[in-house]
């Protein structure tokens, strides 16, 4: 059913520190998801690969330059009354150059990977983050209400490859 829907491609990138103890989130200062904490990302442009889009958005929004990036998940978001689904490719970055800086879009802050501020994040995040902690790749679908706050249904499973 969802394959018949139009999808728009997005990226979502979570930089981890060297010990894999902490993750960098950004408080989004404008646009979609404003005032929420999230990874870094945005729309994939027509002339770039999804991975290049992820690296570009991470640098634009945090100042970090990727040295190693891996896709860890795929999320499909359906919003009530919106005919275009969001196809969000989720990445982990564990090696990078530079230090996080505040930008027009994001205010960066480090959090312990087992101490995530889920109450300040999108409602789906607490469901799939445990897959990241277990090192499992995942695919999920979430059907959000028009309020963009709560979802009514979801599917989530571990996969061998993305």
Could you list the residues that contact ligand 6OG (CB under 6 A)? 10-12, 31-33, 38, 41-43, 77, 86, 88, 122, 124-125, 144
CB nearest ligand 6OG: which residue?
41
Asked whether the beta carbons of 63 and 99 are under 8 A apart, the reply is yes
CB nearer to ligand 6OG: pick between 19 and 49 = 49
Rounded least distance, CB 140 to ligand 6OG, Å: 10
Q: Taking the complex as a whole, how short is the minimal distance between the CB of residue 57 and ligand 6OG, in angstroms?
A: 7
User: Please, which residues bridge with residue 129 across strands?
Assistant: none
Instruction: From 104, 105, 117, select the one nearest 22 (Cα to Cα).
Output: 117
Nearer to ligand 6OG, 19 or 116 (CB): 116
CA 83 to chain centre: 21
Measured from the CB atom, the residue of 38 and 66 that comes closer to ligand 6OG is: 38
Record the tokens describing residue 10, joined without a space.
């997005």
Give me the least distance between CB of 31 and ligand 6OG, in Å please: 5
Q: Considering the complex, state which of residue 19 and residue 106 has its C-beta at the smaller distance from ligand 6OG.
A: 106
Q: Which positions ≥6 away from 4 have C-beta within 8 Å? A: none
Alpha-carbon span 37 to 28, nearest angstrom: 6
What is the smallest separation between the CB atom of 67 and ligand 6OG, expressed in angstroms?
21
Minimal distance in Å, beta carbon 115 to ligand 6OG?
Answer: 17
**Nearer residue to ligand 6OG within complex by CB, 10 or 96:** 10
Sign of the alpha-carbon torsion through 65, 74, 23, 43: positive
Where do the DSSP E strands lie in 17-124?
A: 22-28, 37-38, 65-79, 84-97, 106-112
């Amino acid at each position: 059913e969802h394959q018949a829907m139009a999808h728009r491609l997005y990226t979502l990138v979570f930089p981890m520190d060297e010990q894999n103890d902490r993750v960098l989130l950004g408080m989004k200062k404008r646009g979609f998801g404003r005032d929420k904490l999230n990874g870094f990302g945005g729309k994939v442009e027509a002339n770039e690969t999804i991975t290049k889009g992820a690296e570009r958005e991470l640098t634009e929004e945090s100042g970090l330059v990727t040295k190693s990036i891996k896709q860890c998940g795929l999320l499909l978001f359906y919003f009530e009354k919106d005919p275009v689904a969001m196809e969000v490719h989720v990445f982990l970055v564990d090696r990078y150059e530079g230090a996080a800086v505040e930008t027009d879009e994001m205010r960066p802050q480090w959090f312990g990977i087992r101490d995530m501020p889920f109450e300040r994040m999108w409602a789906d995040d607490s469901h799939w983050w445990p897959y990241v902690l277990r090192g499992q790749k995942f695919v999920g679908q979430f059907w959000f209400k028009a309020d963009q706050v709560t979802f009514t249904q979801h599917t989530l499973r571990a996969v061998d490859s993305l």
